[in-house]
């Protein structure tokens, strides 16, 4: 008996093949997305483990960095410091594996090709051949050659070799400040600090080939910079294992282990009489950003899967419930004939399981393809090789089991409803009787009756309508939140760079290097503006955690080449008391500061009082803005770079590169940002389109059900002489109404999603402010309304093909 009942249900479901297919596809897409994101983060995790590997042969990535970019330490100073640290190191606990000095300098590459010589902003590392920490990563089959050992050898970062058409054995001319030299490429590899090829102080990598990183030997660095061997501006510490450090994106504090090490380091710095900024992995932007990228990928997989499964589940609930409703008489007859409740329920419980199993199977089959696609995409964007690829069995289980559970639960309510139908009530037609809402009557009584009926019919099943809106909202959360966040980012960051800044090139200079740049500019009719920009600020937040930030000093915030977007307060003015500063919005949020407050901060390690007079927007990295005179006095530096506004026909040339520590062109920066935002958006674009598809499917399902459910009243009106046109207008109004409400709900969900996404991405290192770009909200609204209205012809088509003779028979039974 039960098998026949199930067969009956299967045939009924088969009659709605399109809806069945849509639900199966939704489930499969949910599983596919879960496996894709999960597999992606799993493989990325493995790659980072290898890249940042720490074994008996040394560590690719250090545990602590101590740097002072305004001065260099001699090899003797480094040795004294490391000696003092080693002698004070406790014999218990993790051992100090290494303490090494490094020179890391900004510079330029003079790259010559068929179109001439190009000046490329660069960063050069000096790494001894026998270094324990901070090594070049050269994975088998994904790198070439070996590390640099002699004074004329260089390893070029693999990110740029294709764009610059470089290969082993090529000679390259590079510079650092006023010196330059030729090196031979002996290796092509990667470095854990340069996963994302962004220049220091920026989170956006320029386009491929516009920023070069190279790894020289220590002797090569001495030759390039014309300094003595072992001269360093950075100290690297590697502790046995990886001591826990604070994760800036969590509320708790995990950094107790590294704090003990930091205390020892501070003491050793004092003993050696050295000034420097001490950073752990959580405070090192490139490392932290990639960790958060990985965390983001891990965190994303479950919500995306759950959201998609929820949409599928809502569709299943609505569809099965509609089926139960349409089969009410059949069920009542079966109950009258003695079929028990369990037998009836079984089918409705099995149906979603079968749908879920098919969907999960399809999703699981497509999963590895998605994982490989995402990893290929990652390799394409980030440029790092994924050395091993696998989709673990546990991932399939972790994604499919919750999906099956959600899908199964979605069948439970309709199944229960089917078993609770009262045969007498159904067969006497009493279940069709209901009393309309007096409130709705009062609210719509002033309208034409047709419109009033449309509204009342639309909200006749409030739970179903709410579930539809929920599903539309979730779909649009997928579709709109990324779009909203990207548009907001583009508007604030790129828009600010495009519209509020007038410089063409930023030229980095060494101490006292302004004069030659000014001379270059005067000779060519270019205007210039000196500025200070150094990542040497630090402050303890409310929890006592040290937060580092970039210090920026301009002569003017009103007439300068970089106009900062001040969203609250005033621009800094000269002051006899504490220096007036502006702080970026992200810092203000994280530190809990307000305009008008006074605070004490560390500028290159020294305490300094400031008054916050304004809040700015448009920076991804945490930034404090000073007047240059105030900042220069505190740091003992006059300028670290110059902005140049170039007249028409004047371009950055080799002579400028030779007198600078590096040059960045604004257009390169804008192109890089646009390119990155576009690439990042592409990652989610598949999700966005899926969201759109789901919106269409959910709206389609609801509209079809609405029309199907109203067969009774539409047929009555047709028999009584209502034209298809007038009924079409009723359906159109109903669609419009659902579209407008759905659109508003969708925009709200998309905004909520964007805020959630931004919150999950935002940290001290990377703050994303959500700015609602009205055009995106309008697009979302319009999209839902168009989808809803586009369903009207289907309703009209259904009306036209309605067999009134059959309907009259139904109406008379």
Partner 1 sequence: MSDMSDPLLQMKNLQRHYETPAGVVKALDGVSFEIHEGERVILLGPSGSGKTTLLNCLSALDSPTGGSYRFLGEEVPRNQSEKMTSFRRDNIGYVFQFFNLLQDLTVLENILLIQELAGKKDPARAKELLGLVGLDAEVDRFPGEISGGQQQRVAIARSIAKRPTLLLGDELTGNLDTETSNKVMEALVSACKQENITSVFVTHDEGLVRYATRVIRIDSGKIVSDEHLANDQEA
Footprint on this chain of partner 1 (rule: CB under 8 A)? 429, 432-437, 440-441, 445, 448-450, 452-453, 456-457, 460, 712-713, 716-724, 726, 800, 804-805, 808-809, 811-812
Distance CA 13, CA 6 (A): 10
Q: Cβ of residue 27: shortest distance to partner 1, in angstroms?
A: 35
The three-class DSSP label of residue 528 is: strand
Beta bridge partners of 258: none
Q: Cβ of residue 727: shortest distance to partner 1, in angstroms?
A: 8
**349 or 722: CB nearest partner 1:** 722
Half-sphere exposure of residue 177: CA atoms within 13 angstroms, side-chain side: 15
**What sign does the dihedral 766-771-773-776 (CA atoms) show?**
positive
Which of 677, 244, 698, 180 has the alpha carbon at shortest distance from 467? 698
* Assigned token pair, 515: 């004069």
**420 or 800: CB nearest partner 1:** 800
Distance CA 476, CA 699 (A): 12
Q: Cβ of residue 724: shortest distance to partner 1, in angstroms?
A: 7
Distance CA 96, CA 517 (A): 44
The three-class DSSP label of residue 519 is: helix
**91 or 813: CB nearest partner 1:** 813
Q: Cβ of residue 720: shortest distance to partner 1, in angstroms?
A: 6
**What sign does the dihedral 91-233-289-565 (CA atoms) show?**
positive
Beta bridge partners of 528: 644
Q: Cβ of residue 801: shortest distance to partner 1, in angstroms?
A: 9
Distance CA 32, CA 373 (A): 12
Identify whether the C-beta of residue 734 lies closer than 8 Å to the C-beta of residue 459.
no
Identify whether the C-beta of residue 702 lies closer than 8 Å to the C-beta of residue 311.
no
Identify whether the C-beta of residue 578 lies closer than 8 Å to the C-beta of residue 598.
yes
- DSSP letter at 136 equals P
Q: 10 Å Cβ neighbour count for 636?
A: 12
Q: Cβ of residue 428: shortest distance to partner 1, in angstroms?
A: 10
Q: Cβ of residue 750: shortest distance to partner 1, in angstroms?
A: 32
List Cβ neighbours of 303 (8 Å cut-off, separation of 6 or more).
none
Q: Cβ of residue 498: shortest distance to partner 1, in angstroms?
A: 55
Q: Cβ of residue 732: shortest distance to partner 1, in angstroms?
A: 15
Which of 707, 732, 741 has the alpha carbon at shortest distance from 790? 732
**755 or 808: CB nearest partner 1:** 808
Report the 3 state secondary structure along 551-587: EEEECCCCCCCECCEEEEECCCCCCCCCEEEEEEHHH
CA 637 from chain centre, in angstroms, equals 36
Q: Cβ of residue 317: shortest distance to partner 1, in angstroms?
A: 23
Q: Cβ of residue 803: shortest distance to partner 1, in angstroms?
A: 10
Which of 596, 539, 542, 533 has the alpha carbon at shortest distance from 568? 596
Q: Cβ of residue 694: shortest distance to partner 1, in angstroms?
A: 30
Distance CA 711, CA 717 (A): 10
**260 or 440: CB nearest partner 1:** 440
**10 or 804: CB nearest partner 1:** 804
Report the 3 state secondary structure along 187-222: EEEECHHHCCCCCCCCCCCCCCCCEEEEEECHHHHH
**5 or 714: CB nearest partner 1:** 714
Q: Cβ of residue 705: shortest distance to partner 1, in angstroms?
A: 16
Distance CA 317, CA 311 (A): 10
Q: Cβ of residue 586: shortest distance to partner 1, in angstroms?
A: 52
Which of 204, 384, 398 has the alpha carbon at shortest distance from 298? 398
Q: Cβ of residue 435: shortest distance to partner 1, in angstroms?
A: 4
**452 or 569: CB nearest partner 1:** 452
Q: Cβ of residue 800: shortest distance to partner 1, in angstroms?
A: 7
**271 or 440: CB nearest partner 1:** 440
**663 or 796: CB nearest partner 1:** 796
Identify whether the C-beta of residue 382 lies closer than 8 Å to the C-beta of residue 196.
yes
* Buried residues in 115-142 as b, exposed as e (16+ CB within 10 A): eeebbbbbbbbbbbeebbbbbbbbbeeb
Packing angle of the helix pair 17-51, 393-420 (nearest 10 deg) = 150
**670 or 808: CB nearest partner 1:** 808
Identify whether the C-beta of residue 661 lies closer than 8 Å to the C-beta of residue 512.
no
Packing angle of the helix pair 341-382, 17-51 (nearest 10 deg) = 40
Q: What angle do CA 503, 506, 507 make, to 5 degrees?
A: 140
- DSSP letter at 524 equals H
Identify whether the C-beta of residue 218 lies closer than 8 Å to the C-beta of residue 169.
no
- Distances in whole angstroms, Cα of residue 308 to Cα of each of 371, 551, 743: 18, 44, 19
Distance CA 379, CA 683 (A): 12
The three-class DSSP label of residue 557 is: coil
**82 or 705: CB nearest partner 1:** 705
**556 or 724: CB nearest partner 1:** 724
**719 or 782: CB nearest partner 1:** 719
**342 or 430: CB nearest partner 1:** 430
**465 or 744: CB nearest partner 1:** 465
Q: Cβ of residue 806: shortest distance to partner 1, in angstroms?
A: 10
**10 or 811: CB nearest partner 1:** 811
Q: Cβ of residue 458: shortest distance to partner 1, in angstroms?
A: 10
**450 or 680: CB nearest partner 1:** 450
Token match 């105030």: residue?
A: 630
């Amino acid at each position: 008996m039960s098998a026949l009942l199930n067969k009956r249900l299967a045939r009924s479901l088969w009659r709605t093949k399109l809806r069945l297919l849509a639900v199966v596809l939704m489930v499969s897409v949910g599983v596919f997305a879960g496996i894709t994101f999960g597999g992606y983060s799993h493989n990325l995790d493995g790659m980072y483990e290898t890249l940042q590997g720490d074994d008996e042969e040394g560590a690719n990535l250090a545990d602590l960095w101590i740097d002072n970019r305004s001065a260099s330490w001699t090899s003797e100073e480094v040795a004294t410091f490391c000696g003092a640290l080693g002698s004070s190191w406790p014999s218990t606990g993790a051992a100090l594996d290494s303490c090494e000095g490094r020179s890391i300098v900004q510079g330029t590459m003079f790259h010559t090709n068929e179109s001439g010589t190009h000046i490329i902003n660069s960063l050069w590392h000096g790494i001894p051949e026998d270094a324990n920490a901070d090594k070049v990563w050269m994975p088998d089959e994904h790198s070439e050659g070996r590390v640099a050992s002699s004074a004329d050898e260089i390893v070029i970062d693999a990110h740029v070799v294709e764009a610059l058409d470089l290969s082993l054995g090529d000679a390259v001319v590079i510079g650092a400040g006023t010196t330059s030299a030729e090196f031979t490429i002996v290796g092509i590899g990667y470095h854990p600090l340069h996963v994302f090829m962004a220049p220091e102080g920026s989170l956006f990598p320029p386009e491929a080939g516009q920023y070069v990183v190279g790894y020289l030997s220590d002797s090569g660095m001495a030759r390039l910079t014309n300094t003595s061997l072992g001269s360093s501006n950075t100290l690297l510490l590697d502790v046995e294992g990886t001591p826990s450090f604070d994760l800036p994106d969590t509320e708790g504090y995990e950094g107790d282990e590294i704090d003990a090490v930091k205390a020892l380091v501070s003491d050793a710095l004092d003993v050696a009489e050295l000034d420097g900024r001490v950073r752990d992995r959580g405070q090192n932007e490139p490392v932290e950003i990639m960790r958060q990228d990985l965390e983001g990928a891990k965190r994303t997989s479950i919500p995306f899967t759950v959201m998609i499964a929820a949409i599928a589940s809502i569709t299943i609930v609505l569809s099965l419930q509609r089926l139960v409703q349409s089969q009410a008489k059949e069920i009542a007859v079966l109950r009258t004939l003695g079929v028990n409740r369990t037998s009836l329920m079984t089918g409705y419980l099995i149906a979603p399981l079968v749908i879920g199993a098919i969907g999960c199977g399809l999703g699981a089959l497509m999963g590895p393809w998605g994982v490989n696609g995402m990893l290929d995409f990652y390799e394409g964007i980030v440029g790092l090789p994924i050395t091993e690829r696998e989709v673990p069995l546990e991932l399939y289980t972790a994604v499919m089991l919750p999906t099956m559970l959600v899908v199964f639960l979605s069948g439970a309510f309709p199944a229960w409803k089917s078993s609770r139908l009262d045969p007498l009530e159904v067969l006497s037609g009493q279940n069709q009787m209901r009393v309309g809402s007096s409130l709705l009557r009062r609210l719509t009584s002033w309208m034409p009756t047709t419109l009033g009926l449309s509204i009342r019919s639309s909200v006749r099943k409030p739970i179903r309508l709410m579930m539809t809106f929920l599903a539309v909202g979730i779909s649009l959360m997928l579709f709109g939140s990324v779009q909203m966040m990207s548009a907001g980012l583009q508007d604030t960051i790129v828009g600010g760079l495009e519209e509020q800044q007038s410089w063409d090139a930023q030229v980095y200079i060494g101490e006292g290097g302004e004069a030659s740049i000014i001379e270059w500019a005067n000779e060519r009719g270019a205007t210039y503006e000196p500025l200070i920009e150094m990542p040497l600020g630090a402050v303890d937040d409310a929890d006592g955690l040290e937060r580092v930030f970039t210090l920026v000093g301009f002569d003017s915030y009103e007439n300068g080449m970089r106009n900062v977007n001040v969203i609250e307060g005033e621009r800094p003015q000269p002051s006899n008391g504490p220096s007036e500063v502006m702080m970026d919005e992200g810092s203000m949020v994280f530190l809990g500061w307000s305009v008008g407050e006074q605070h004490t901060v560390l500028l290159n390690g020294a305490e300094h009082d400031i008054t916050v007079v304004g809040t700015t927007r448009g920076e991804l990295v945490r930034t404090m803005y000073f007047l240059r005179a105030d900042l220069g006095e505190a740091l003992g530096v006059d300028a670290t770079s110059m902005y140049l506004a170039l007249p028409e026909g004047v371009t950055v040339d080799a002579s400028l590169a030779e007198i600078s520590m590096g040059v960045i062109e604004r257009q390169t920066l804008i192109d890089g940002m646009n390119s990155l935002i576009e690439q990042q958006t592409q990652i989610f674009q598949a999700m966005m389109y899926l969201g759109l598809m789901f919106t269409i499917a959910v709206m389609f399902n609801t509209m079809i059900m609405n029309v199907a459910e109203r067969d009774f009243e539409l047929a009555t009106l047709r028999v009584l002489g209502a034209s298809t046109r007038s009924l079409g207008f009723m359906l159109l109004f109903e669609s419009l109404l659902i579209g407008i409400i759905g659109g508003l709900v969708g925009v709200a969900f998309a905004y909520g999603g964007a805020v959630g996404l931004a919150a999950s991405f935002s940290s001290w290192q990377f703050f994303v402010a959500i700015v609602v770009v009205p055009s995106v909200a309008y697009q979302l609204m319009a999209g839902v309304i168009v989808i809803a209205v586009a369903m009207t012809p289907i309703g009209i088509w259904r009306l036209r093909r309605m067999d009134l003779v059959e309907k009259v028979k139904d109406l008379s039974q």
